[in-house]
Amino acid sequence: MSDLHVRAKALDAEDELGGKRAEFVLDDTVYLDGNSLGALPAHVPERVADVIDRQWGKLRIRSWEESGWWTAPERIGDRIAPLVGAAPGQIVVGDSTSVNVFKALVAAVRLARGEDAGTGARDEGRDEIIVDATTFPTDGYIARSAARLTGCRLTPLTPAEVPAALSPRTAAVLLNHADYRTGRLHDLPGLTAAVHAAGALAVWDLCHTAGALPVGLDAHGVDLAVGCTYKYLNGGPGSPAYIYVRAELQDRFDSPLPGWNSHAEPFGMRPEFEAAEGALRGRVGTPDILSMLALEAALDVWDGVSMDAVRAKSLALTDFFLRCVEAYVPKGLVESLTPEAHAERGSQVALRCSPKLSTSFEQGGAPLAGDVMKRLTERGVVGDFRAPDVLRFGFTPLYVSFVDAERAARVLAEILES
């Protein structure tokens, strides 16, 4: 038994979040892909069965009122709010991340221009959208479409380049809180302040940070934010996303996708649109109840959990994993793309495979990283990869243990050495 394995067991014994692991459906697999799909909370199947058997099966249409289906988007939004540092009444759940990015970005441009819905008032000077050039591809696609719709030019930049590029022409800036490839954490407070100093609005994508570390939306004055719920929030495959609209902006939030669910009088069936009050303006159509209530049940695992404790364990886990990789993996076979500085690190570790490994693997047209990850999965260590050479390991503090981290590094070393 190695010294690092002994140390891992000792760290698990001291872990204040260690008891949370029992609340998830897990097996002997080391599951390090919660940055793509979180593990199943153990109580969710029973809760979903009740939604199907009793609420839908017996109460049927009555469940919109008697089971609270109608208010689920804002109710669940208030459950997510403390996990991202937001007061109640600013988050509504529904639609996909992509749809919410579109709503938030177009609305941000309209807000920056001082447009009043229906009046035609407009500051023509704000004609630029800046988008994170390293962002997940869909955000870039949506930003390009939003730019066409609003008549803006689109400027792709790395987050580090944004402050110097801001100008009186900038309307909105769309940024990822963490790089999905490397796990690099971007400076949300500093970048938001820089965007505001230029008179523009900041839109943040929280998909790779919500549930893994404190975000501080209210504290840092973020204007609009979106995020998914199936990663660190463990809401299930395809669970609905959410949109955050800062309270001070809600009366001017002009969604490009007004729907009957965002109407001030949804059952009035009036042809003219009148926006509802508050974050409800972020709703569009009928809520996807089955997946939404599965998410609501999944959020129970967060009861009594401190986000500061989550962040502390996340950093300790990633530090320990990197230490094990350094100890076990022969020099030169992988290099870490994940920043060493805690302030710049999310909750994943990205390792780039050395080109010298390509001669040791029968790739058959598959990317090198894909071949390595396939062998890891066969050995009971599940992460994922980004072609051609990046291995990604997500560390979900609620259920990943230090023994998991040590085993993953040890198995990786055995595969690369062989």
Give DSSP secondary structure letters for 221-237.
T--EEEE-SSSTT---T
Q: Which stretches of 151-288 are DSSP H helices?
A: 162-165, 188-197
Beta carbons of 195 and 108 less than 8 angstroms apart: no
Residue 302 is predicted with a pLDDT of: 98
Q: Give strand pairing partners of 390.
A: 352, 386
pLDDT at position 357 is 74
Task: Provide the residue-wise pLDDT of the chain in tens; the chain has 418 residues.
Answer: 699 999 999 999 999 999 999 999 999 999 999 999 999 999 999 999 999 999 999 999 999 999 999 999 999 999 999 999 999 999 999 999 999 999 999 999 999 999 854 445 566 789 999 999 999 999 999 999 999 999 999 999 999 999 999 999 999 999 999 999 999 999 999 999 999 999 999 999 999 999 999 999 999 999 999 999 999 999 999 999 999 999 999 999 999 999 999 999 999 999 999 999 999 999 999 999 999 999 999 999 999 999 999 999 999 999 999 999 999 999 999 999 999 999 999 999 999 998 877 655 554 444 589 999 999 999 999 999 999 999 999 999 999 999 999 999 999 999 999 8
Which single residue is written with the structure tokens 């949804």? 266
- Which residues are annotated as catalytic? 136, 205, 230-231, 392
> 48-302: which CATH topology?
Aspartate Aminotransferase; domain 2 (3.40.640)
pLDDT score for 365: 44
3-17+305-417 belongs to which CATH class? alpha beta
| Number of neighbours of residue 63 by Cβ within 10 angstroms | 19
Is pTM beyond 0.85? Reply is: yes
**Beta carbons of 113 and 89 less than 8 angstroms apart:** no
Q: Smallest Cα–Cα separation from 188: which of 346, 398, 317?
A: 346
Q: Could you tell me where the beta strands, DSSP code E, fall in 107-261? A: 128-132, 153-157, 170-176, 201-205, 224-227, 242-245
Neighbouring CB atoms inside 10 A of 260's CB total: 16
Pairing of strands 348-353, 334-336: antiparallel
Per-residue model confidence (pLDDT) at position 366: 47
Q: How distant is the alpha carbon of residue 144 from its chain centre?
A: 21
Show me where the domains of the chain are located. Answer: 3-17+305-417, 48-302
pLDDT at 368: 85
pLDDT at 235: 98
Tokens 């560390």 locate to 395
User: Which residues are CB-contacts of 201 (< 8 A; sequence separation ≥ 6)?
Assistant: 108, 109, 111, 112, 171, 172, 173, 195, 223, 224
Amino acid letter for position 57: G
